Structure 1
Amino acid sequence: MAALWQHRALSPAQPRPSWQVRFEDHWELRRRGVPPPKDPNWRALYALKPFQRNLLQNPNPEGLSTSEPAPPCPPKAPWMLLNPQGTFKGWQISTEPLPVGKEATLPHYSWSVKQQRIDLLAEGLWEELLDLYQPNITIMDWYENSKLASCVYQLHVQLLGTDQVTVIGEFHHVAQEGDQGGANKNWHHVSHVFERYSPGVRFVHFLHKTKDAESPSGYHRTRATDSSVSVQLRD
Protein backbone atom coordinates (compact mmCIF):
# COMPACT_ATOMS: atom_id res chain seq x y z
CA MET A 1 0.00 0.00 0.00
CA ALA A 2 2.96 2.33 0.42
CA ALA A 3 3.01 2.74 -3.36
CA LEU A 4 -0.29 4.59 -3.14
CA TRP A 5 1.58 7.55 -1.70
CA GLN A 6 3.99 7.88 -4.64
CA HIS A 7 1.65 9.78 -6.95
CA ARG A 8 1.29 12.45 -4.25
CA ALA A 9 5.02 13.19 -4.08
CA LEU A 10 5.60 16.88 -4.85
CA SER A 11 8.50 18.44 -6.73
CA PRO A 12 11.10 20.57 -4.93
CA ALA A 13 9.35 23.64 -6.33
CA GLN A 14 6.17 22.55 -4.56
CA PRO A 15 7.07 21.82 -0.94
CA ARG A 16 4.61 19.74 1.02
CA PRO A 17 2.14 21.66 3.17
CA SER A 18 3.26 21.64 6.79
CA TRP A 19 -0.08 20.24 8.01
CA GLN A 20 0.29 17.25 5.70
CA VAL A 21 3.81 16.58 6.97
CA ARG A 22 2.68 16.86 10.58
CA PHE A 23 -0.24 14.51 10.09
CA GLU A 24 1.65 11.87 8.09
CA ASP A 25 4.68 11.89 10.36
CA HIS A 26 2.74 11.94 13.61
CA TRP A 27 0.81 8.78 12.72
CA GLU A 28 3.59 7.19 10.61
CA LEU A 29 1.13 6.54 7.78
CA ARG A 30 3.73 5.57 5.19
CA ARG A 31 5.47 3.06 7.43
CA ARG A 32 2.13 1.48 8.28
CA GLY A 33 1.07 1.32 4.63
CA VAL A 34 -2.05 3.41 5.18
CA PRO A 35 -3.73 4.50 1.93
CA PRO A 36 -4.06 8.31 1.75
CA PRO A 37 -7.39 10.13 1.57
CA LYS A 38 -8.56 11.80 -1.63
CA ASP A 39 -8.44 15.61 -1.63
CA PRO A 40 -7.81 15.87 2.12
CA ASN A 41 -7.93 18.93 4.32
CA TRP A 42 -4.74 18.11 6.20
CA ARG A 43 -5.14 20.87 8.74
CA ALA A 44 -8.64 19.66 9.66
CA LEU A 45 -7.46 16.05 9.88
CA TYR A 46 -4.60 17.03 12.15
CA ALA A 47 -6.96 18.97 14.41
CA LEU A 48 -9.47 16.10 14.61
CA LYS A 49 -6.84 13.59 15.78
CA PRO A 50 -8.99 10.66 14.58
CA PHE A 51 -6.87 7.88 16.10
CA GLN A 52 -6.65 6.70 19.70
CA ARG A 53 -9.19 9.19 21.05
CA ASN A 54 -12.63 8.40 22.40
CA LEU A 55 -15.20 9.09 19.68
CA LEU A 56 -18.17 8.96 22.07
CA GLN A 57 -19.60 12.17 23.46
CA ASN A 58 -19.76 12.46 27.25
CA PRO A 59 -18.43 8.96 28.00
CA ASN A 60 -18.72 9.53 31.75
CA PRO A 61 -21.96 11.53 32.07
CA GLU A 62 -22.42 10.94 35.80
CA GLY A 63 -18.85 11.75 36.82
CA LEU A 64 -18.20 8.34 38.35
CA SER A 65 -14.73 6.86 38.86
CA THR A 66 -13.96 3.18 38.32
CA SER A 67 -11.07 3.46 40.77
CA GLU A 68 -13.54 3.40 43.66
CA PRO A 69 -17.01 1.92 44.25
CA ALA A 70 -19.92 3.88 42.85
CA PRO A 71 -21.40 6.16 45.52
CA PRO A 72 -24.91 5.41 46.80
CA CYS A 73 -27.62 6.25 44.31
CA PRO A 74 -30.53 7.95 46.11
CA PRO A 75 -33.92 6.55 45.10
CA LYS A 76 -35.63 8.81 42.57
CA ALA A 77 -38.87 9.01 40.69
CA PRO A 78 -38.67 7.43 37.21
CA TRP A 79 -38.77 10.76 35.39
CA MET A 80 -35.75 11.98 37.38
CA LEU A 81 -33.50 9.03 36.56
CA LEU A 82 -31.62 10.52 33.63
CA ASN A 83 -31.62 14.02 32.20
CA PRO A 84 -30.92 13.98 28.43
CA GLN A 85 -29.62 17.57 28.65
CA GLY A 86 -26.33 18.79 30.04
CA THR A 87 -23.81 16.06 30.76
CA PHE A 88 -25.95 13.46 28.96
CA LYS A 89 -25.86 15.43 25.72
CA GLY A 90 -25.02 13.15 22.81
CA TRP A 91 -26.81 10.14 24.28
CA GLN A 92 -30.21 8.97 23.08
CA ILE A 93 -31.95 7.78 26.25
CA SER A 94 -34.99 5.55 26.60
CA THR A 95 -36.60 3.10 29.04
CA GLU A 96 -37.73 -0.48 28.35
CA PRO A 97 -40.15 -1.73 31.01
CA LEU A 98 -39.87 -5.46 31.71
CA PRO A 99 -42.95 -7.68 32.06
CA VAL A 100 -44.63 -7.58 35.44
CA GLY A 101 -45.70 -10.83 37.07
CA LYS A 102 -49.35 -11.72 37.63
CA GLU A 103 -49.26 -10.56 41.24
CA ALA A 104 -47.56 -7.28 40.23
CA THR A 105 -45.53 -7.20 43.43
CA LEU A 106 -42.43 -5.07 43.83
CA PRO A 107 -39.70 -4.85 42.69
CA HIS A 108 -40.56 -3.91 39.11
CA TYR A 109 -37.65 -3.95 36.67
CA SER A 110 -36.82 -1.93 33.57
CA TRP A 111 -33.84 -1.30 31.29
CA SER A 112 -32.31 2.15 31.03
CA VAL A 113 -31.02 2.34 27.45
CA LYS A 114 -28.33 4.79 26.32
CA GLN A 115 -27.04 4.82 22.76
CA GLN A 116 -24.94 6.84 20.33
CA ARG A 117 -24.18 6.54 16.64
CA ILE A 118 -20.72 7.64 15.49
CA ASP A 119 -20.14 8.94 11.96
CA LEU A 120 -16.55 7.78 11.31
CA LEU A 121 -16.01 10.05 8.30
CA ALA A 122 -17.14 13.07 10.30
CA GLU A 123 -14.62 12.14 13.00
CA GLY A 124 -11.69 12.40 10.58
CA LEU A 125 -11.40 8.88 9.14
CA TRP A 126 -11.59 8.31 5.38
CA GLU A 127 -13.03 5.73 3.01
CA GLU A 128 -9.72 4.31 1.72
CA LEU A 129 -8.53 3.82 5.28
CA LEU A 130 -11.71 2.01 6.37
CA ASP A 131 -12.07 -0.13 3.24
CA LEU A 132 -8.46 -1.11 2.47
CA TYR A 133 -6.46 -0.79 5.68
CA GLN A 134 -9.29 -1.43 8.16
CA PRO A 135 -7.87 -0.06 11.43
CA ASN A 136 -8.83 -1.69 14.69
CA ILE A 137 -11.99 -0.36 16.35
CA THR A 138 -11.89 -0.88 20.11
CA ILE A 139 -14.95 -0.86 22.37
CA MET A 140 -14.71 -0.52 26.16
CA ASP A 141 -17.24 0.00 28.93
CA TRP A 142 -17.59 -0.31 32.71
CA TYR A 143 -20.78 -1.16 34.60
CA GLU A 144 -21.77 -1.40 38.23
CA ASN A 145 -22.62 -4.79 39.71
CA SER A 146 -25.65 -3.28 41.39
CA LYS A 147 -27.00 -6.69 42.49
CA LEU A 148 -30.50 -5.57 41.62
CA ALA A 149 -31.01 -8.76 39.57
CA SER A 150 -29.05 -11.68 38.15
CA CYS A 151 -28.43 -9.72 34.92
CA VAL A 152 -27.98 -5.98 35.25
CA TYR A 153 -26.14 -4.99 32.04
CA GLN A 154 -26.05 -5.54 28.28
CA LEU A 155 -23.81 -4.12 25.55
CA HIS A 156 -24.64 -4.17 21.84
CA VAL A 157 -22.29 -2.62 19.24
CA GLN A 158 -22.71 -2.70 15.46
CA LEU A 159 -20.48 -1.60 12.58
CA LEU A 160 -22.82 -0.14 9.96
CA GLY A 161 -22.55 0.71 6.28
CA THR A 162 -23.36 3.97 4.51
CA ASP A 163 -27.10 3.36 4.73
CA GLN A 164 -26.82 3.04 8.55
CA VAL A 165 -28.83 -0.19 8.27
CA THR A 166 -26.47 -2.80 6.81
CA VAL A 167 -24.63 -4.58 9.65
CA ILE A 168 -21.00 -5.38 8.73
CA GLY A 169 -19.83 -6.45 12.19
CA GLU A 170 -21.35 -6.74 15.65
CA PHE A 171 -20.52 -7.55 19.26
CA HIS A 172 -22.94 -8.43 22.06
CA HIS A 173 -22.29 -8.91 25.75
CA VAL A 174 -24.95 -9.93 28.29
CA ALA A 175 -23.82 -9.94 31.91
CA GLN A 176 -24.83 -12.92 34.03
CA GLU A 177 -23.64 -12.21 37.54
CA GLY A 178 -25.81 -14.71 39.39
CA ASP A 179 -24.94 -13.06 42.70
CA GLN A 180 -27.38 -10.67 44.36
CA GLY A 181 -26.06 -11.09 47.89
CA GLY A 182 -23.48 -9.16 49.86
CA ALA A 183 -22.58 -5.48 49.81
CA ASN A 184 -19.68 -5.56 47.30
CA LYS A 185 -20.74 -3.70 44.17
CA ASN A 186 -17.55 -3.60 42.12
CA TRP A 187 -17.14 -2.20 38.64
CA HIS A 188 -16.97 -4.75 35.81
CA HIS A 189 -15.06 -4.16 32.58
CA VAL A 190 -16.16 -5.15 29.06
CA SER A 191 -14.05 -4.74 25.92
CA HIS A 192 -13.88 -5.92 22.33
CA VAL A 193 -11.69 -5.18 19.29
CA PHE A 194 -13.09 -5.29 15.76
CA GLU A 195 -10.34 -6.44 13.38
CA ARG A 196 -10.22 -7.27 9.65
CA TYR A 197 -13.89 -6.46 9.13
CA SER A 198 -15.34 -6.20 5.62
CA PRO A 199 -15.15 -2.98 3.57
CA GLY A 200 -17.96 -0.47 3.81
CA VAL A 201 -17.95 0.46 7.51
CA ARG A 202 -18.98 4.09 8.00
CA PHE A 203 -20.79 4.19 11.35
CA VAL A 204 -20.48 2.61 14.80
CA HIS A 205 -23.67 2.18 16.83
CA PHE A 206 -22.99 1.86 20.58
CA LEU A 207 -25.84 0.80 22.89
CA HIS A 208 -25.77 -0.35 26.48
CA LYS A 209 -28.58 -1.26 28.86
CA THR A 210 -28.46 -1.02 32.64
CA LYS A 211 -31.18 -2.46 34.86
CA ASP A 212 -33.28 -0.36 37.23
CA ALA A 213 -35.62 -1.58 39.95
CA GLU A 214 -38.67 0.02 41.54
CA SER A 215 -38.89 -1.04 45.18
CA PRO A 216 -40.97 0.15 48.14
CA SER A 217 -38.22 2.71 48.87
CA GLY A 218 -38.23 4.14 45.33
CA TYR A 219 -36.26 3.65 42.11
CA HIS A 220 -32.74 2.18 42.21
CA ARG A 221 -30.35 2.19 39.28
CA THR A 222 -27.42 0.31 37.76
CA ARG A 223 -24.84 2.71 36.39
CA ALA A 224 -22.27 2.56 33.58
CA THR A 225 -19.28 4.81 32.97
CA ASP A 226 -16.11 5.38 30.93
CA SER A 227 -17.73 4.12 27.74
CA SER A 228 -15.32 4.25 24.82
CA VAL A 229 -15.11 3.74 21.06
CA SER A 230 -11.66 4.40 19.56
CA VAL A 231 -9.70 3.63 16.39
CA GLN A 232 -6.11 2.39 16.33
CA LEU A 233 -3.57 1.99 13.55
CA ARG A 234 -1.68 -1.31 13.60
CA ASP A 235 2.10 -1.39 14.07
Structure 2
Amino acid sequence: MGARPSRRRLPADPPLALDALPPELLVQVLSHVPPRALVTRCRAVCRAWRDVVDGPTVWLLQLARDRSAEGRALYAVAQRCPPKGEDEELPLCALARYCLRSPLGRNLIFNSCGEQGFRGWEVEHGGNGWAVEKNLTLVPGAPSQTCFVTSFQWCFKRQLVDLVMEGVWQELLDSAQIEICVADWWGARENCGCIYRLRVRLLDVYENEVVKFSASPNPVLQWTERGCRQVSHVFTNFGKGIRYVSFEQYGRDTRSWVGHYGALVTHSSVRVRIRLS
Protein backbone atom coordinates (compact mmCIF):
# COMPACT_ATOMS: atom_id res chain seq x y z
CA MET A 1 0.00 0.00 0.00
CA GLY A 2 1.31 3.38 -0.95
CA ALA A 3 4.03 1.90 -3.13
CA ARG A 4 5.01 4.02 -6.11
CA PRO A 5 4.49 2.41 -9.48
CA SER A 6 7.73 1.43 -11.17
CA ARG A 7 8.80 3.37 -14.21
CA ARG A 8 9.99 1.54 -17.22
CA ARG A 9 13.15 3.06 -18.63
CA LEU A 10 12.85 3.60 -22.34
CA PRO A 11 15.75 2.43 -24.45
CA ALA A 12 18.09 5.23 -25.51
CA ASP A 13 18.06 6.32 -29.11
CA PRO A 14 21.04 4.95 -31.01
CA PRO A 15 23.73 7.58 -31.69
CA LEU A 16 23.54 9.28 -35.03
CA ALA A 17 26.11 7.88 -37.42
CA LEU A 18 27.28 10.72 -39.65
CA ASP A 19 28.86 8.29 -42.06
CA ALA A 20 25.36 7.08 -42.87
CA LEU A 21 24.31 10.51 -44.13
CA PRO A 22 23.97 11.00 -47.86
CA PRO A 23 26.75 13.20 -49.31
CA GLU A 24 24.51 16.24 -49.77
CA LEU A 25 23.59 16.22 -46.05
CA LEU A 26 27.12 15.43 -44.88
CA VAL A 27 28.52 18.46 -46.64
CA GLN A 28 25.83 20.64 -45.02
CA VAL A 29 26.74 19.35 -41.55
CA LEU A 30 30.48 19.73 -42.05
CA SER A 31 30.07 23.27 -43.39
CA HIS A 32 29.31 24.37 -39.81
CA VAL A 33 32.66 23.08 -38.51
CA PRO A 34 35.42 25.72 -38.10
CA PRO A 35 37.94 25.64 -40.98
CA ARG A 36 40.95 24.50 -38.95
CA ALA A 37 39.02 21.64 -37.36
CA LEU A 38 37.79 20.60 -40.80
CA VAL A 39 41.34 20.24 -42.06
CA THR A 40 43.10 18.88 -38.97
CA ARG A 41 40.37 16.59 -37.59
CA CYS A 42 37.50 15.89 -39.97
CA ARG A 43 39.66 15.26 -43.02
CA ALA A 44 41.35 12.29 -41.32
CA VAL A 45 38.11 10.50 -40.34
CA CYS A 46 37.54 8.60 -43.57
CA ARG A 47 37.79 8.87 -47.34
CA ALA A 48 34.27 10.31 -47.70
CA TRP A 49 35.01 13.11 -45.24
CA ARG A 50 38.38 13.77 -46.86
CA ASP A 51 36.70 14.14 -50.26
CA VAL A 52 34.26 16.67 -48.79
CA VAL A 53 37.03 18.74 -47.18
CA ASP A 54 39.16 18.61 -50.34
CA GLY A 55 36.29 19.75 -52.53
CA PRO A 56 34.96 23.29 -52.97
CA THR A 57 31.33 22.83 -51.87
CA VAL A 58 31.84 22.82 -48.10
CA TRP A 59 33.92 26.00 -48.35
CA LEU A 60 31.43 27.72 -50.64
CA LEU A 61 28.72 27.04 -48.06
CA GLN A 62 30.86 28.72 -45.39
CA LEU A 63 31.48 31.75 -47.59
CA ALA A 64 27.79 32.03 -48.51
CA ARG A 65 26.88 32.76 -44.87
CA ASP A 66 28.59 36.16 -45.02
CA ARG A 67 25.78 38.39 -46.27
CA SER A 68 27.72 41.65 -46.08
CA ALA A 69 28.39 43.52 -49.32
CA GLU A 70 32.00 42.31 -49.26
CA GLY A 71 30.88 38.76 -48.53
CA ARG A 72 28.42 38.68 -51.43
CA ALA A 73 31.03 40.06 -53.83
CA LEU A 74 33.57 37.50 -52.66
CA TYR A 75 31.08 34.64 -53.00
CA ALA A 76 30.33 35.62 -56.60
CA VAL A 77 34.03 35.30 -57.46
CA ALA A 78 34.45 32.13 -55.38
CA GLN A 79 31.78 30.33 -57.39
CA ARG A 80 34.06 30.61 -60.43
CA CYS A 81 37.11 29.26 -58.61
CA PRO A 82 38.28 26.06 -60.37
CA PRO A 83 38.76 22.85 -58.36
CA LYS A 84 42.24 21.82 -57.27
CA GLY A 85 44.29 20.42 -60.14
CA GLU A 86 46.43 17.32 -59.83
CA ASP A 87 49.58 19.30 -60.63
CA GLU A 88 48.88 22.10 -58.14
CA GLU A 89 51.85 22.84 -55.88
CA LEU A 90 49.84 23.45 -52.69
CA PRO A 91 47.73 20.98 -50.67
CA LEU A 92 43.98 21.64 -50.24
CA CYS A 93 41.82 23.55 -52.67
CA ALA A 94 42.16 27.31 -53.04
CA LEU A 95 38.93 28.04 -51.15
CA ALA A 96 40.11 25.92 -48.21
CA ARG A 97 43.34 27.91 -48.01
CA TYR A 98 41.34 31.14 -48.13
CA CYS A 99 39.05 30.11 -45.27
CA LEU A 100 42.01 28.91 -43.19
CA ARG A 101 44.12 32.03 -43.69
CA SER A 102 41.38 34.72 -43.82
CA PRO A 103 43.60 37.08 -45.84
CA LEU A 104 41.14 39.88 -46.61
CA GLY A 105 41.77 42.91 -44.42
CA ARG A 106 44.59 41.21 -42.50
CA ASN A 107 48.07 42.71 -42.47
CA LEU A 108 50.14 40.32 -44.57
CA ILE A 109 53.47 41.83 -43.45
CA PHE A 110 55.09 39.65 -40.80
CA ASN A 111 56.84 41.35 -37.86
CA SER A 112 55.85 44.82 -39.03
CA CYS A 113 57.23 46.70 -36.02
CA GLY A 114 60.36 44.73 -35.20
CA GLU A 115 58.87 43.07 -32.13
CA GLN A 116 60.58 39.88 -33.31
CA GLY A 117 63.84 41.49 -34.33
CA PHE A 118 64.48 41.08 -38.06
CA ARG A 119 62.53 37.85 -38.55
CA GLY A 120 60.78 37.80 -41.93
CA TRP A 121 62.92 40.58 -43.43
CA GLU A 122 65.81 40.54 -45.90
CA VAL A 123 68.20 43.12 -44.46
CA GLU A 124 71.20 45.06 -45.80
CA HIS A 125 73.06 47.01 -43.12
CA GLY A 126 74.74 50.33 -43.87
CA GLY A 127 76.84 52.29 -41.37
CA ASN A 128 76.20 50.73 -37.97
CA GLY A 129 73.29 48.80 -39.48
CA TRP A 130 69.65 48.53 -38.55
CA ALA A 131 68.49 48.47 -34.93
CA VAL A 132 65.16 48.01 -33.14
CA GLU A 133 64.08 50.55 -30.53
CA LYS A 134 60.97 51.76 -28.73
CA ASN A 135 58.87 54.34 -30.55
CA LEU A 136 59.51 57.98 -29.72
CA THR A 137 55.80 58.76 -30.16
CA LEU A 138 52.67 56.63 -30.18
CA VAL A 139 51.86 55.05 -33.56
CA PRO A 140 48.08 54.40 -33.72
CA GLY A 141 46.99 50.84 -34.42
CA ALA A 142 50.49 49.37 -34.30
CA PRO A 143 50.68 45.86 -32.77
CA SER A 144 53.87 46.88 -30.95
CA GLN A 145 55.25 50.31 -30.05
CA THR A 146 58.69 49.49 -31.46
CA CYS A 147 60.41 50.54 -34.67
CA PHE A 148 63.35 49.82 -36.97
CA VAL A 149 66.05 52.52 -36.97
CA THR A 150 68.65 53.23 -39.69
CA SER A 151 72.21 54.52 -39.48
CA PHE A 152 74.61 56.95 -41.22
CA GLN A 153 74.73 55.08 -44.54
CA TRP A 154 71.88 53.68 -46.60
CA CYS A 155 70.10 50.80 -44.85
CA PHE A 156 67.71 48.61 -46.83
CA LYS A 157 65.20 45.94 -45.91
CA ARG A 158 62.62 44.00 -47.86
CA GLN A 159 59.83 41.53 -47.30
CA LEU A 160 58.32 39.42 -50.08
CA VAL A 161 54.64 38.58 -49.53
CA ASP A 162 53.32 35.53 -51.39
CA LEU A 163 49.64 36.38 -51.85
CA VAL A 164 48.65 32.85 -52.87
CA MET A 165 50.35 31.27 -49.86
CA GLU A 166 48.55 33.82 -47.67
CA GLY A 167 45.23 32.49 -48.96
CA VAL A 168 44.29 34.76 -51.89
CA TRP A 169 43.60 32.39 -54.76
CA GLN A 170 44.91 33.30 -58.21
CA GLU A 171 41.50 33.73 -59.86
CA LEU A 172 40.56 36.27 -57.18
CA LEU A 173 43.80 38.17 -57.82
CA ASP A 174 43.00 38.19 -61.54
CA SER A 175 39.34 39.18 -61.12
CA ALA A 176 39.84 43.00 -60.99
CA GLN A 177 37.59 42.95 -57.91
CA ILE A 178 40.32 43.42 -55.33
CA GLU A 179 42.68 46.20 -54.34
CA ILE A 180 46.02 45.96 -52.56
CA CYS A 181 46.53 48.63 -49.90
CA VAL A 182 50.06 49.35 -48.67
CA ALA A 183 51.15 51.70 -45.90
CA ASP A 184 54.21 52.55 -43.84
CA TRP A 185 54.96 54.80 -40.87
CA TRP A 186 58.26 56.69 -40.74
CA GLY A 187 59.85 59.52 -38.85
CA ALA A 188 62.99 61.12 -37.45
CA ARG A 189 64.65 61.98 -34.18
CA GLU A 190 64.41 65.63 -33.18
CA ASN A 191 68.19 66.11 -32.96
CA CYS A 192 69.10 64.59 -36.35
CA GLY A 193 67.62 64.77 -39.82
CA CYS A 194 66.89 61.73 -41.98
CA ILE A 195 66.08 60.53 -45.48
CA TYR A 196 63.44 57.85 -46.15
CA ARG A 197 62.39 55.96 -49.27
CA LEU A 198 59.65 53.39 -49.88
CA ARG A 199 59.16 51.19 -52.92
CA VAL A 200 56.41 48.59 -53.28
CA ARG A 201 56.35 46.36 -56.36
CA LEU A 202 53.72 43.89 -57.55
CA LEU A 203 55.43 40.88 -59.11
CA ASP A 204 54.30 37.94 -61.23
CA VAL A 205 54.96 34.27 -60.48
CA TYR A 206 58.52 34.62 -61.85
CA GLU A 207 59.09 37.73 -59.65
CA ASN A 208 59.09 40.06 -62.65
CA GLU A 209 57.85 43.56 -61.86
CA VAL A 210 54.36 44.36 -63.16
CA VAL A 211 53.62 47.66 -61.43
CA LYS A 212 55.24 49.67 -58.64
CA PHE A 213 54.71 52.56 -56.23
CA SER A 214 57.56 54.73 -54.95
CA ALA A 215 57.59 57.39 -52.25
CA SER A 216 60.49 59.82 -51.73
CA PRO A 217 59.37 62.40 -49.16
CA ASN A 218 61.50 65.47 -48.56
CA PRO A 219 64.27 64.84 -46.02
CA VAL A 220 63.47 65.78 -42.43
CA LEU A 221 65.86 68.51 -41.26
CA GLN A 222 67.62 68.57 -37.91
CA TRP A 223 65.70 70.22 -35.06
CA THR A 224 62.54 70.65 -37.14
CA GLU A 225 60.18 67.92 -35.96
CA ARG A 226 59.87 64.70 -34.04
CA GLY A 227 57.28 62.03 -34.66
CA CYS A 228 55.94 59.69 -37.31
CA ARG A 229 53.84 60.19 -40.38
CA GLN A 230 52.24 57.71 -42.80
CA VAL A 231 52.81 56.94 -46.47
CA SER A 232 50.08 54.91 -48.20
CA HIS A 233 48.95 53.78 -51.63
CA VAL A 234 46.19 51.62 -53.12
CA PHE A 235 46.87 49.41 -56.15
CA THR A 236 43.81 48.89 -58.37
CA ASN A 237 43.28 47.60 -61.91
CA PHE A 238 46.74 46.03 -61.92
CA GLY A 239 45.88 43.33 -64.44
CA LYS A 240 46.33 39.58 -64.27
CA GLY A 241 49.21 37.43 -63.10
CA ILE A 242 50.14 39.12 -59.80
CA ARG A 243 51.54 36.69 -57.22
CA TYR A 244 53.90 38.62 -54.92
CA VAL A 245 54.21 42.00 -53.19
CA SER A 246 57.77 43.21 -52.65
CA PHE A 247 57.80 45.76 -49.78
CA GLU A 248 61.11 47.68 -49.75
CA GLN A 249 62.35 50.39 -47.36
CA TYR A 250 65.47 52.58 -47.41
CA GLY A 251 66.73 55.05 -44.81
CA ARG A 252 69.72 56.94 -43.41
CA ASP A 253 70.54 60.04 -41.38
CA THR A 254 71.66 63.41 -42.80
CA ARG A 255 74.56 64.08 -40.39
CA SER A 256 76.68 60.92 -40.83
CA TRP A 257 76.71 60.33 -37.09
CA VAL A 258 77.97 57.04 -35.72
CA GLY A 259 75.07 55.11 -34.20
CA HIS A 260 71.40 54.95 -35.11
CA TYR A 261 70.14 58.46 -35.87
CA GLY A 262 68.54 57.81 -39.26
CA ALA A 263 64.97 57.21 -40.42
CA LEU A 264 62.65 55.25 -38.14
CA VAL A 265 60.16 52.90 -39.82
CA THR A 266 57.35 50.86 -38.29
CA HIS A 267 53.83 49.43 -38.69
CA SER A 268 54.34 48.48 -42.35
CA SER A 269 51.27 46.88 -43.90
CA VAL A 270 49.99 45.10 -46.99
CA ARG A 271 46.25 44.43 -47.02
CA VAL A 272 43.98 42.92 -49.67
CA ARG A 273 40.41 44.20 -49.89
CA ILE A 274 37.36 43.54 -52.05
CA ARG A 275 36.37 46.39 -54.37
CA LEU A 276 32.65 47.12 -54.23
CA SER A 277 32.50 49.60 -57.12
CA-to-aligned-CA distance 1:128-158 (integer Å, 9 cap, x gap)? 1111234100001100133634x51100000
- Provide the C-alpha distance between the structure 2 equivalents of 1:178 and 1:61, rounded to a whole number of angstroms: 22
Q: How does 1:156-167 map to 2 (within 5 A)?
A: 156-164=199-207, 166-167=208-209
The match for 2:246 is 205
Q: 8 Å contact 2:201–2:212 — kept in the other structure?
A: yes
- Equivalent position SS for 1:229: strand
Query: How far did 1:211 drift?
Result: 1.2
CA-to-aligned-CA distance 1:89-118 (integer Å, 9 cap, x gap)? 001110346xxxxxxxxxx93122111001
2:77 maps to 1:37:
no
Q: 8 Å contact 1:94–1:114 — kept in the other structure?
A: yes
Unaligned 5+ segments in structure 1 are 1-10, 63-85, 98-107
Amino acid at match of 2:200: V
Q: 8 Å contact 2:95–2:169 — kept in the other structure?
A: no
2:277 maps to 1:233:
no
- Equivalent position SS for 2:174: helix
- Provide the C-alpha distance between the structure 1 equivalents of 2:63 and 2:75, rounded to a whole number of angstroms: 13
2:266 maps to 1:222:
no
Q: 8 Å contact 1:134–1:197 — kept in the other structure?
A: no
1:51 to 94, 101, 104: 104
- Provide the C-alpha distance between the structure 2 equivalents of 1:31 and 1:161, rounded to a whole number of angstroms: 22
Query: How far did 1:224 drift?
Result: 0.6
Amino acid at match of 2:160: R
Q: How does 1:1-40 map to 2 (within 5 A)?
A: 15-16=27-28, 18=31, 20=59, 21-26=61-66, 28-30=71-73, 33-35=76-78, 36-39=80-83, 40=93
- Provide the C-alpha distance between the structure 1 equivalents of 2:121 and 2:72, rounded to a whole number of angstroms: 33
The match for 1:136 is 179
The match for 2:90 is none
- Equivalent position SS for 1:142: strand
2:221 maps to 1:191:
no
- Provide the C-alpha distance between the structure 2 equivalents of 1:128 and 1:29, rounded to a whole number of angstroms: 16
Amino acid at match of 1:94: E
The match for 1:119 is 162
* Change over 3 Å in CA distance of 1:193–1:115 after alignment to 2: same
- Provide the C-alpha distance between the structure 2 equivalents of 1:159 and 1:41, rounded to a whole number of angstroms: 21
2:117 maps to 1:87:
yes
The match for 1:72 is none
Amino acid at match of 2:163: L
- Provide the C-alpha distance between the structure 2 equivalents of 1:198 and 1:42, rounded to a whole number of angstroms: 21
Q: TM-score, normalised by structure 1?
A: 0.70
- Provide the C-alpha distance between the structure 1 equivalents of 2:63 and 2:200, rounded to a whole number of angstroms: 29
CA-to-aligned-CA distance 1:156-183 (integer Å, 9 cap, x gap)? 000000101x21110000110453234x
- Equivalent position SS for 1:33: helix
Bigger radius of gyration: 2
Q: 8 Å contact 2:98–2:169 — kept in the other structure?
A: no
1:60 to 98, 101, 113: 113
Query: How far did 1:214 drift?
Result: 4.2
- Identity, % of aligned pairs? 28
Query: How far did 1:59 drift?
Result: 0.6
* Change over 3 Å in CA distance of 1:38–1:93 after alignment to 2: same
Higher relative contact order, structure no. (Cα contacts within 8 Å, ≥ 6 residues apart): 1
- Equivalent position SS for 1:54: coil
